[in-house]
Amino acid sequence: MQQATTGNQYQALWTSGFIIPAIDLIGGKCVRLTQGDYARQKVYHENPVDAAKQFEAAGCTRLHLVDLDGAKAGTVQNLAVLEAIAGATRLLIDFGGGVKTVGTVQSILNAGAAMVTIGSLAVKQPATVAAWAQTFGASRFLIGADVQEEKIRISGWLEDGGIDIYTFIRQMLDAGLQQFFCTDISKDGMLQGSAIALYRQLLGVFPGLNLIASGGVTAIEEVESLRVAGCTGAIIGKAIYEGSITLPISPVNA
């Protein structure tokens, strides 16, 4: 029987960086999509900087920042938002969406991101991403694997990547990349539970994989189960915004 998560465990999941709040950007606003559908979006914050500051005030240490405009357009669109959040907080930020060139990677890092998230390009041009890892260091990249029935989806989840998740991760590991997150699109934004069975399978095939869960997380007990399963983090968006997972009390105000 699964034990309830204690108050101290709850706080630690946030302050350790295991829970990684997500801000998805469309038109400079904080939104969430349902199952990756751009037609099914809801605005949660007009000002994403304010949202990021709330996360930091509550004790969070990381932030997953996604330029959905950039993912759809194929070029980064919300770099100014990244720069504003990095300037207003000390959060460790990973940023992605529409990253295509080495110049864009440099711009993202210069704007204050700790890591650049790469998804579609890693599928289409793995040699390019491997070269970037050599140039900037593998620790500066977080490889995103968006899946539907274990097949990779790309370009903001709009296209079939033509490769399965296992082959993709093997390619990236062979190229020297070390950090991954995996989103099951069928789970994302549904508040019906994460793809924990898939994560267990991946960790069974790739023992010790630095794998962050993403999509569908609904309850804090589920987050603890992901940690026990071997995931190194959990990206959470809608469950926080809808209140099914609440922010911890700020250490400043406790």
Query: Mean pLDDT per segment of 10 residues, for the chain of length 254 residues?
Result: 61 93 91 70 88 94 94 90 98 95 97 95 94 97 91 72 92 95 72 80 96 90 93 93 81 37
Out of 24, 67, 69, 94, the active site residue is 24
Look up residue 12 and give its two tokens.
């630690």
In the beta sheet, which residues pair with residue 213? 182, 234
Choosing from 67, 146, 184, 188, the catalytic residue is 146
Report the pLDDT value the prediction gives residue 44, as an integer from 0 to 100. 87
Domains defined along the chain, listed by start: 7-241 (3.20.20.70)
Predicted confidence at residue 110, as pLDDT, reads 98
* pTM given for the model: 0.89
| pLDDT on residue 14 | 92
Is 24 assigned a catalytic role? yes
Q: Please tell me the number of Cα atoms within 13 Å of 158 on its side-chain side.
A: 10
Contact 96, 144 (CB under 8 A): yes
Whether 164 sits among the annotated catalytic residues: the reply is: no
User: By three-state DSSP, how is residue 22 classified?
Assistant: strand
Q: Which pLDDT does position 253 carry in this prediction? A: 37
By C-alpha distance, which of 229, 224, 228, 230 is closest to 245?
Answer: 224
